[in-house]
A = this chain, B = another copy of it.
Amino acid sequence: MQQSSFTTSAPSRSAADAPLLDRLRGLIVSGVVPPGDLLGETALAEEFEVSRTPIREALKQLEREGLVEIRPRVGTFVRKPSQREIYELFQLKESLEGLAAGLLAQRGDVPELRSLIRNVESEHDVVRAGDRAAYSTLVHDFHHTLIAGADNQKLSEHYELLMNQLAYHRIVTQTLALPGRLDASLGEHQQIVLAIQSKDPITAELATRRHVAQTRENAALAAFREDGASPSN
């Protein structure tokens, strides 16, 4: 419950005029400010060199996004999703990505599909090289491209909301560290792309949902390892 100062080095002159909300959200989803920490209006106001008013507005938005908890007259704290919430979010993720894959499979030859193909090729390379960190990045890109390929703005918005809530969890639990998971994940990605290329929406959707379900199960395993000590939360 401490108050970390999160000043990396300079007086915060990185993304100068980036919307305040995005900068604050970035602090949370990047893990710079970990769950439990207090986000004091006054402190943030000084940090970002604005008054408390715009800070307040941003914090309220973050509350509605599920990233912080505002305890009235007490303070705003970075929130850590419960295991239950994470499970629920993964269920949603499965459904939304399945939808996206199906839609993309119906769209013919679009840039996003080509992007996916290239992405999987890169994944193949880094898996052979055993570079887990690089693969992690590519996985992130893969799923984002898949969503973008659905050509549905509302879907993208809901997906991002969802992934922001899972961000910290993703940072902490290294699901790809489980033995054999790298190769399995790659294979699943290949199946998904193949189905999309074949313009087979049903197979594409099913393959995607299976893949996400796999990820969910592995995440639960990894979380169990990590969390071991702390009860529920």
Using a CB–CB cutoff of 8 Å, the interface residues on chain A facing chain B are 53, 56-57, 60-61, 64, 85, 88-89, 91-92, 94-96, 98-99, 103, 152-155, 158, 161-162
Contacts and interface: CB of A to CB of B under 8 A. Distances in A.
A24 to B, nearest CB: 14
A152 B91 contact: yes
Given A57-B60, A91-B155, 8 more contacts: A53-B53, A56-B57, A60-B60, A60-B61, A88-B154, A91-B99, A91-B103, A91-B152
A177 to B, nearest CB: 26
Contacts of A154: 85, 88-89, 91-92, 162
8 A-B pairs with the lowest CB-CB distances in the bound complex, closest first:
A95-B99, A88-B154, A88-B152, A95-B95, A57-B60, A89-B154, A92-B154, A158-B158
A interface, by DSSP: helix, strand, loop or mixed?
helix
Contacts of A53: 53
Contacts of A96: 92, 95
Given A85-B153, A153-B85, A158 B92 contact: yes
A15 to B, nearest CB: 20
Contacts of A89: 154
Contacts of A161: 158
Contacts of A98: 95
Contacts of A57: 56-57, 60
A131 to B, nearest CB: 33
A207 B190 CA distance: 30
Nearest to A61: B64
